Each structure stands twice: as structure tokens, then as C-alpha cells.
Amino acid sequence: SPIFSFKKLKVWQKARDFHRDKFALFPQIQRAALSTPFYISEGARLGTKELIHFISLAHGSLIETMNQLILADD
């Protein structure tokens, strides 16, 4: 699946190894997770074209959250 393809990238794998125990992830996870519904609601109030744009931003936030949870699990 294209959503999970970043896990196969060597550069992501190396960054994951470097990241272990280096940074506090909770504030970053919270920010990314909370931005998802905000993007959706913001786009919904503006119209179809804007909704598509904001859905894309929400999708990015979900991928970011997933990545941060993977790192936190490490």
C-alpha cells in the first residue's frame, strides 16, 4: 500500500534508528493527531475544492502520527 511505503525507505529506517530515545514524542504525536479533525472541519466549511485540499493535509497528519507512534513503540 502506498500509505505504508515510507517504511521501506532506507533513509527512514536509518532515521528511525537514530531517533530512538533522542526526543520527547508525546507533544508531537498530540499535535499531529489533533490537527487531523481540525483540517477536516476547516475544509468542510470552505467548500469542495478546499475540502479536498484539507483532506490531503489531514491525511498527511495521519501519516505523521503513524510514524511518530512507530518511533514511540521503538
Cβ atoms 36, 24 nearer than 8 A: no
Higher pLDDT, 68 or 59: 59
> How far is 17 from 28, CA to CA, in rounded Å?
18
pLDDT of residue 19: 67
Query: What pLDDT does 4 receive?
Result: 65
Residue 20, pLDDT > 80, answer no
φ, ψ at 5 (rounded to 5°): -65, -25
